[in-house]
Chain A
Amino acid sequence: MLSTGPARVKPAPDRVPGRPPWILVVPALLGLAFLVLPLAGLLVRAPWSTLLTRLGEPQVMEALRLSLITATLATGLCLVLGVPLAWLLARVPFPGARLVRALVTVPLVLPPVVGGVALLLVLGRRGLVGSWLYGTFGISLPFTTAGVVLAETFVAMPFLVISVEGALRAADLRYEEAAATLGATRWTTFRRVTLPLVAPGIAAGAILCWARALGEFGATITFAGNFPGRTQTMPLAVYLALETDPEAAIVLSLVLLVVSVLVLAALRDRWVGSS
């Protein structure tokens, strides 16, 4: 393992001397309040007295389980496809790279519901690729858990690609060049030098990706539909609960928030490291 990067040899000091200027502190606090206050709104309105009985409903656990499984699978798929894509964008100059880079961000800009329709048009039973899948293998992806994973992957992958590409560009190329001069192939260099070098970036991207997948609603309900136990993830359950029972929707949202905050806090310390 390569553990002697310059940053490790001479750790950057934690503090810069001097008082933090108010021109940064005030907007920072405002920003924090803006992000946290809606959460406080949920907490204030939560039906605390009936919380436990509501949590005990089997549909809640079913949706939570499905959400965690699909978001994790989607993150895995994003890693398998997204890290190589980020590497390609950062390390291999090719004509049209700017265009490809812009295309990668399309799912960020596209309203997720439109993304879901686009997925239907390609992977649906009558879609460009989907009709072949259906005709040849009898596989139909919409309305399946696999469809949920695909929808989440589509929406979440840009987060991973962008952070990994950023990490790759920030990484010092000389380590890879040194590996090459010592006779390593590009694959070996990627595996033994590049990957460990950008591991924190990959972890940060994976975390973003997982969080985005966990909250995914529009593409999922459009592409995979909504059926309890099969395609009804937490955000879908929240949306439908909101139709008839806003308090139940708040409970479900809190569950989703608590679980995701716990997982993210635990992983962030382990992967990205606070030192």
Chain B
Amino acid sequence: MIKRVAALAAGLSLLVAGCGDTGDGDTAGKGSGSTLTVFAAASLTESFTALGKTFETSHQGVKVRFNFGGSSTLAQQIRQGAPADVFAAASPATMKQVSATSQVFTRNRLVIAVPPGNPGKVARLSDLSDRKLKVVLCAEQVPCGAAATRALGAAGVKVEPASQEQDVKAVLTKVQLGEADAGLVYRTDAKAAAGRVTGIEFPESAQAINEYPIVALPTAPRPAPAKEFVQLVLSAQGQAALSRAGFESAGAN
């Protein structure tokens, strides 16, 4: 029995490992059909998935595959040779590791996320300095944490966070489950989790607007559709999809 359990566990782990690499490595070198591979920041999941469908409809025979994840992880994968055609990052700093010719296509700002009912009675950014509140932020190493530090710094608010989370979704989870009384997340994340968290806008967020750059990678296995996908994102149609998700227009570009 033990042996069987162990064999089962080993089998399962192989299965998991096997599934894991279909995400980014599968399109490598196979060259069958026409598949466009887009690496995009996790916060773009909803809007880019919709745009991918639009793109497939207007480009018969082209399939769009997404690899959504933390921007820095994606940048690392691209630098290690992952076969990406398009890269959309949540911060220019991360984009710089990959390309110098990117274009800003949208902006995102922070909001305060509180659990339903707002048990900590948070109304403004300065409320987060209350030591009795459990506040979670992103770690400074990730874009949302850097933005939070900028916003709090600009407002002169000192926060002692209960935790510095690895990404914005982790902050959202803690708030959603009521473990944290408040957290700083992107407006798009609060919007996607509407009903499970409440987003509170604050004026100081203007000091920490996150710019999202996009690029058709020079090493793209499929350069033509890659450029067309970037054009779609920059087009009025693309911008409308982004604004539905809670993004702001990138302004003159």
Contacts and interface: CB of A to CB of B under 8 A. Distances in A.
Interface in A123-179: 124-126, 142-143, 162, 165-166, 169
Contacts of A126: 177-179
A109 B13 CA distance: 8
Interface of B: 1-2, 5-6, 8-9, 12, 70, 72-73, 76, 134, 136, 139, 141-142, 161-166, 170, 173-174, 177-179
Contacts of A105: 5, 8-9
Nearest to B72: A243
Which of B163, B173, B177 has its CB near the most chain A CB atoms (within 10 A)?
B163
Interface residues of A, number: 33
B141 A101 contact: no
B139 to A, nearest CB: 5
Name A's interface SS: helix
Interface of A: 101-102, 105, 108-109, 117, 120-121, 124-126, 142-143, 162, 165-166, 169, 221-222, 224-228, 231, 236, 239-244, 246
A225 B162 contact: yes
A225 B72 contact: no
B207 to A, nearest CB: 21
Given A102-B5, A121-B177, 17 more contacts: A105-B9, A126-B178, A126-B179, A142-B174, A142-B179, A143-B163, A165-B2, A166-B2, A169-B1, A222-B170, A222-B173, A224-B163, A225-B136, A226-B139, A236-B166, A242-B72, A244-B72
B2 A221 contact: no
A166 B142 CA distance: 44
Given A120-B177, A121-B177, A221-B170, A227 B162 contact: yes
A226 B179 CA distance: 14
A222 B166 CA distance: 9
Contact of A244 (B2, B141, B179): B141
B9 to A, nearest CB: 5
